[in-house]
Structure 1
């Protein structure tokens, strides 16, 4: 079975690429992230990490409402609860966010 996982603490490290984050371990050699650690503890194996697991696109105004932030210029923004930066293009009135994810395999 293949399980898509949204790491619990990734939003604390939004600038760290998901591939590196998913490989982090604690002193006891278990995964750093609690949800990845839970899956591995249940017998799962980290199969892959994807920086572009799902895409969320909206207008600049929509993203300002969703995040509670002003997005006054083009560029990347870190937002509360977001595990990766948001990319804003004001000229096109679009903001794009790619949700990162980790794939865990479990034997049936």
Structure 2
């Protein structure tokens, strides 16, 4: 669902190797690549998801070799008690908010 909403190039978590898959997924929710190093935008994204939609995610940071900037990503972690409808709703809301903020 996240790949469909944001594109494979915006998913930072491993998907090709089934041994590395997990419910923890990091992704870039915005259209502009340079937003990847805008921590304030990620903080606002996370805050709005919680405040407006009761969806709790986090943001994370990481280095990219050769880049002068610290990069950021939204990070979602599903749980055993999340059903498919809840996950689909969260992805839809995150997609729409990411587009709105782009």
TM class by shorter chain equals 0.3 to 0.5
Structure with more strand by fraction: 1
Select the structure that is richer in helix: 2
TM-score by length of 2: 0.36
Give the number of the structure whose alpha-carbon radius of gyration is greater: 1
* Structure with more relative contact order (C-alpha pairs < 8 Å, separation 6 or more): 1
